[in-house]
Amino acid sequence: MSMQHFEVNYDGLVGPTHNYAGLSFGNVASLANAKASSSPKHAALQGLKKMKALHDMGMKQGVLAPQERPDIFALRRLGFSGTDAEVLYQAATEAPAIFQAVCSASSMWTANAATVSPSADTANGKVHFTPANLTNKFHRSLEPNTSGRILQAMFNNSRYFEHHTHLPDNEHFGDEGAANHTRLCREYGHAGIEVFVFGRYAFDSSKPAPQRFPARQTLEASQAIARLHGLSEENTVYIQQNPDVIDQGVFHNDVIAVGNQNVLFYHEQAFADAESKLAEIQSKFGEHPLHFIKVATDQVSIQDAVSTYLFNTQLITPPDGQMTIIAPTECQENDNVRSYLEQLTQSNDSPIKRVEFFDVKQSMRNGGGPACLRLRVALNDEEIAGANQNCLMSDKLFKRLNQWVEKHYRDELAVDDLRDPALLEESRSALDELTQIMKLGSVYPFQQD
């Protein structure tokens, strides 16, 4: 029997402390919604609904567990001491900004969990994973160790999977994972072109860079990932993100471009040196047709792209082969973007045939759209069989996780509620139960004492 290949989307399950703390300078939505009250329960249910809908469309869908927050271990490392409740109290009182950072549920945006290279692209024929170090934001820099442990528990078979340590924790190697990485291919099982988009050159300050907002990803980080994963020169392309759009709130490439199979959907201002870089992709891709869908500024402005997340959409290929765009409802509510999408999906020569809208507003308010919420892992059927089956969406798992959310999550959470020691206990008992549901073992620091 011939091998089948799939793209599996592993969506982040929103954690019990989901809140709006305004932690991400350069991310317009995060700053605009700072201190608004949130609903962890709705956020988690919205995410589960999207996962279930893709599963029902015939896609392979996975679930990635959230992290333990508040991160008491980070607070202890920073000198707070005593019982867990004392650590919480001291930090919340004496260092509220640090305290809010260690409470963030930001691991929900699993596009930033890691960079993944499928076996068809790598020198040793294994699927490679490198957790992102996320050094640019303190609250996100707390994620890589646990992300690595969770990924190892999900892809726990050295015959198929190879796991690397995250890059050195330093701005020179700032790495934001799959948010700045896309893969173009004929079919998921064919060797593809891995496109790495970076914001700046770490070791050459004479090169262009954004002036106002940070560039979170460096060229040198992207190159290190390609080396670790055993990618070849012929199947790798590095493109600098246009520094001007970073300065307008495009903090990751996945806010301005998305690829799937032989389609790259992007805004004309997305890349520096776009023409020669797209030509390089084309020549490395070979003879097979490749669609570059360029959206012009007079069709959709950068501001509309940032506020609607038109490019933070998922481009997926369901089993009927009709490429579909999974968009946030913000795209439907903006007249201009909605009509652009209608025109795109109705045009005869567009490879994108359908659009489906999803309400992920709880996540959008922190600058996380449908594409931020998922980590793509292209796998063949043997690799799927070798992965943890309890992390794959099914009717049963959907029901179980909905019950789990209903049981453990709060309806509403204000920033001041984060210091409640009961929230720490609720969060830990929720995660303890989750590791049993998803058979992850003891991946959390509180389980290792």
Residue 151 to residue 387: CA distance in whole angstroms: 10
DSSP track, 387-449: S-GGGB--HHHHHHHHHHHHHH--S-B-GGGGG-HHHHHHHHHHHHHHHHHTT--S-SGGG--
User: What is the amino acid identity at position 337?
Assistant: V
C-beta atoms surrounding 76 within 10 Å: 14
Query: Nearest approach, Cβ of 405 to ligand SUG (angstroms)?
Result: 20
Interface with ligand SUG (CB under 6 A), residue from 20, 129, 196, 409: 20
Give the strands of the sheet with 114-117, arranged side by side. 114-117, 127-131, 161-163
Query: Nearest approach, Cβ of 109 to ligand SUG (angstroms)?
Result: 4
- Per CB under 6 A, which region of 7-15, 320-328, 363-371, 382-390 contacts ligand SUG? 363-371
Q: 62: number of CA atoms within 13 Å, CB side?
A: 26
**Closer residue to ligand SUG in complex, CB, 323/372:** 372
DSSP state of 55: H
Query: Nearest approach, Cβ of 67 to ligand SUG (angstroms)?
Result: 12
Site for ligand SUG in 77-116 (CB under 6 A): 104, 106, 109, 111-112
Query: Nearest approach, Cβ of 255 to ligand SUG (angstroms)?
Result: 6
- Per CB under 6 A, which region of 24-32, 56-64, 275-283, 345-353 contacts ligand SUG? 24-32
Q: Is the dihedral of CA 146, 21, 357, 117 positive or negative?
A: negative
94 a catalytic residue? no
Q: Where are the alpha helices (DSSP H) in 164-238?
A: 219-229
372 a catalytic residue? yes
Asked if 119 interacts with ligand SUG (CB under 6 A), we say no
**Closer residue to ligand SUG in complex, CB, 154/197:** 197
Q: Which residues pair with 193 in a beta bridge?
A: 184
Catalytic residue among 372, 383, 408, 426: 372
Asked if 23 interacts with ligand SUG (CB under 6 A), we say yes
Asked if 21 interacts with ligand SUG (CB under 6 A), we say yes
Q: Which residues pair with 181 in a beta bridge?
A: 196
Asked if 24 interacts with ligand SUG (CB under 6 A), we say yes
Asked if 118 interacts with ligand SUG (CB under 6 A), we say no
Catalytic residue among 5, 42, 128, 252: 252
Residue 237 to residue 376: CA distance in whole angstroms: 19
Asked if 367 interacts with ligand SUG (CB under 6 A), we say yes
Asked if 27 interacts with ligand SUG (CB under 6 A), we say yes
252 a catalytic residue? yes
**Closer residue to ligand SUG in complex, CB, 150/397:** 150
Q: Is the dihedral of CA 408, 410, 415, 417 positive or negative?
A: negative
Query: Nearest approach, Cβ of 224 to ligand SUG (angstroms)?
Result: 20
Q: Which residues pair with 62 in a beta bridge?
A: 10, 392
**Residue 82 — φ and ψ, nearest 5°?**
105, -160
Query: Nearest approach, Cβ of 306 to ligand SUG (angstroms)?
Result: 11
Contact between 203 and 173 under an 8 Å Cβ cutoff? The reply is no
Residue 381 to residue 399: CA distance in whole angstroms: 25
H/E segment holding residue 117: strand 114-117
Interface with ligand SUG (CB under 6 A), residue from 9, 17, 30, 248: 30
**Closer residue to ligand SUG in complex, CB, 144/351:** 144
Residue 34 to residue 222: CA distance in whole angstroms: 31
Catalytic residue among 7, 162, 176, 330: 176
Residue 344 to residue 141: CA distance in whole angstroms: 38
Asked if 313 interacts with ligand SUG (CB under 6 A), we say no
Query: Nearest approach, Cβ of 363 to ligand SUG (angstroms)?
Result: 8
Interface with ligand SUG (CB under 6 A), residue from 14, 92, 179, 209: 179
Q: Which chain residues interact with ligand SUG by CB under 6 A?
A: 20-24, 27, 30, 104, 106, 109, 111-112, 137, 140, 179, 252, 254-255, 366-368, 372
Report the catalytic residues.
Answer: 176, 252, 372
